[in-house]
Structure 1
């Protein structure tokens, strides 16, 4: 390799100061390196660290003389992580045998599409354009879909829901009725509501208006029950919800006590997946004790008033004192605003019950429910329907994870 002569810079153009000395030093070093033995120079270049290369995103590094390409056997650098795709728009179909019909599902052959809005201006725009413009669903509708998805959670066995309060007139039967309607409407299994109030409850009146045959009639004919149609003879139907009424006739001889409740629900559990019990106000009644011992979920009803809220809290106190502390921690408190007052600090009530229980659901005042007649879901205000949908989702959150409660002896 021919040697190159070093030509110093012209004195007039040579910079002054420390920077100039640094330039001279580097230039002299290069000159000395050029005059050294070529073999040593090559060895030094081979052992020297390669210059740092700037990686360009999305493109592999281009080989250079200073950074030769790695041999084929060398492992490649791990690629930079990519953000996860949206499951909603890019859900991956489950693996299936391409030679069977299992491959043909809605996830594999249906093109991704946006959900059609069901209400509001979004629905109006979608309808006016014949679906050409689809703004998608809004936050409120998305929340309803999420609640329905929770309600449809798989249920491994019979689930008992007890709706209780030591005070009457707070909307307990209304809560039990609408909870049953929401669960039965959005689930494929069987749901039944039973009025366990020994003193002529109103559950069937609020739902179907039929109470000719009652739980006491069912009790007297338990030995005749062989199949679901035999049970249906003693129930009334609204939508997909079946209802067992409480006895309305004061001349009925059979007493509905704790033992009777155990017998009736033992039969119902053979044919129904969810059993909702609308209990009476007598906390010391044996039927109440049997209801609480069966309960997988507990709903305590009150109102945003001084008397209604204090009685709901006293109900929790009674439950804790009688060995149901764990049930209280997992309980849901429902505050029904059919009776309410602007003078009550609702945020204070919410904080009180939130500290004691799993959740608090506030039911807004609804003229349809306040009338006290038969309930029709389609006549509910949207906010009321959403509140009961939330209650049903909270109940479903415990499916498969809430064992029946037993009082501490």
Structure 2
């Protein structure tokens, strides 16, 4: 840095910054007003003019700068280097001929000389940070130090420290926030993984329980009853799901036991079991069996199961047969009590399980005859009050006729007429009106019969057409497995001699 003597040989230059984008520049008493858009531009303009003077005189030019109540001496050298002088000499008197001379030296405020060296840095928390050390070395960005490309002064260093400290605090807060978020996300993942593992374990345990329960039900259905058993499916109310129950229960028992099961439509009028069943290559019915086939079953030597195939309809992979009622109501009337006995006797020669789909007239001769041969009663009930009431009336009639044992061991199947949402354990999870109705109807049979079971709504059964057992919902299949096992349990308790069959719990 270059400093002049007390009596400079170069022009006397002063610059007064008026603070409104204007500077009053005086060179040897010649005053000029300069204007610019910013104070920085004014400073640069003053230095640029002083530089030209220094070059023209080939000597340093000292500029006395008055700005904001402070005075400093700036040396501008011919080679373009600049600096701040160590002290401020008294300003020379203004030329008398100037209309607006600069103030005499004694009237000026005491000179304030800014230290040209960067202020010593106080203890700074991030003093050793490489980023801060790099930023601290950057030249001044404001004021005369910026114009003269000098290191930042104390005030700017302090400002930079404040900004850097704020930046570092924000970075630390951000790091802590991100770390907290990372920990929270990790904890959420851990909780989610734990919940998923628990849910998977719960589902596996549920699947294992269901499989064990299914195996238990299967063994029960497969019990050897040591003789033919007749299951009566009855409810005098039309639309109570008698035919649906007979068919699906026959399919469940037949497929589980491996055959030797038949579903017989013993309706006093034209029944619909034949319509709901799978077609065969013939359309013969129970009346045809009585008229044309009974002669082949008069004694054991003439009885052949192959002959019976001409009258029953095989149901394929369901492993059971269907004996349909006649489509002519006049011919169906031939199935009186004697006709029932003949058909039942024939079927008992070739099947272990006979399911009888009855009509709506419990006083019909063949119905009362069916009561005599029944080993088990199944009562299908649509989830409606009229279906429930007719079933209760029938139960009372059974008891009055001396068949109270059939009522006491009956299995009631409550068929839901609308979907009911259930949890994994099969419990309803809402309180819709139709759910409450189904529960109310089921409760009407409790303590009167052996078992009351729900049968869920299945849209595959809604249209009343041919039943495709393998297209039914898993819930429907499960419900009928429960029903078949309940029927088998009742038969075990009532018709098997102790010690003559395998324990269903084994």
TM-score bin, normalised by smaller chain:
0.5 to 0.7
Is 1:156–1:399's contact at 8 Å kept on the other side of the alignment? Answer: no
Is 1:234 aligned to residue 234 of structure 2?
A: no
What secondary structure, in the 3-state scheme, does the structure 1 residue paired with 2:447 have? helix
Determine the C-alpha separation between the residues in 2 that align with 1:147 and 1:372: 28
1:212 lines up with 2:283 in the alignment: yes
- Measured after TM superposition, the shift of residue 155 of structure 1 is 1.8
Structure 2 alignment gaps of length 5 or more? 1-195, 298-302, 420-432, 497-506
Which of 263, 266, 277 is equivalent to 2:356?
277
1:330 deviation in Å?
A: 0.5
The residue that corresponds to 2:255 in the other structure is 185
Query: Tell me, what secondary structure is at the counterpart of 1:180?
Result: helix
Displacement, 1:138?
2.7
Q: Structure 1 residues 156, 400: closer, same or farther in 2, change over 3 A?
A: farther
Aligned partner (choices 254, 272, 294) of residue 373 of structure 2: 294
Residue 255 of structure 1 deviates from its aligned partner by 1.0
For the Cα contact (< 8 Å) 1:151–1:396, is it kept in 2? yes
**Corresponding position: 1:303 with 2:382:** yes
Q: Who is 1:345 aligned against?
A: 437
Question: Secondary structure of 2:218's match?
Answer: helix
Aligned: 1:222 with 2:299: no
Q: Which has the higher helix share?
A: 2
**Does the 8 A contact of 2:270 with 2:332 survive in 1?**
no
> How far off is 1:380 after superposition?
1.1
Question: Is residue 199 of structure 1 aligned with residue 269 of structure 2?
Answer: yes
Find the aligned partners of 1:354 and 1:262 in 2 and give their Cα distance: 33
For 1:278 and 1:146, locate their aligned partners in 2 and report how far apart those are by CA, in whole Å.
27
- Measured against aligned partners, the alpha-carbon deviations of 1:57-96 in whole angstroms (never above 9, x if no partner) come to xxxxxxxxxxxxxxxxxxxxxxxxxxxxxxxxxxxxxxxx
3-state DSSP of counterpart to 1:333: strand
Q: How far apart in 2 are the matches of 1:307 and 1:253?
A: 27
Distance in structure 2 (CA, Å) of the matches to 1:177 and 1:214: 16
* Residue range with higher mean Cα deviation, 319-328 or 179-188: 319-328
* 2:456 paired with 1:364: yes
Tell me which moved more, 267-276 or 318-327. 318-327
Higher strand share: 2
Name which of 209, 219, 230 aligns with 1:160: 230
RMSD between aligned residues: 2.5
Moved over 4 A (4+): 134-137
Give 1:139 deviation, angstroms: 2.4
* Separation in structure 1 between the aligned mates of residue 330 and residue 444 of structure 2, nearest angstrom: 44
Q: Say if 1:338 and 1:369, in contact at 8 Å, map to a contact too.
A: no
C-alpha distance 250-345 of structure 1, shift in aligned 2 (>3 A): closer
Larger CA Rg, structure 1 vs 2? 2
Q: 2 CA distance for matches of 1:309 and 1:178?
A: 21
Give runs of aligned pairs for residues 8-407 of structure 1, distance below 5 A.
137-209=207-279, 212-220=283-291, 221-225=293-297, 226-239=303-316, 240-250=319-329, 252=331, 255-338=334-417, 342=434, 344-403=436-495
Helix, strand or coil for the counterpart of 1:192?
A: strand
Rate the CA distance shift 1:254–1:309 in 2: closer, same or farther, 3 A.
closer
Q: d(CA) in 2 for partners of 1:242 and 1:144?
A: 24
Q: How far apart in 2 are the matches of 1:402 and 1:212?
A: 37
TM-score by length of 1: 0.63
Closer/same/farther in 2, CA of residues 339 and 314 from structure 1, 3 Å limit: farther
Supply the distance in 2 between the matched residues of 1:260 and 1:379 (Cα, whole angstroms).
35
Deviations 1:330-374 (A, max 9, x none): 111111113696274333322221210000111111000112111
SS in 1 for 2:412: strand
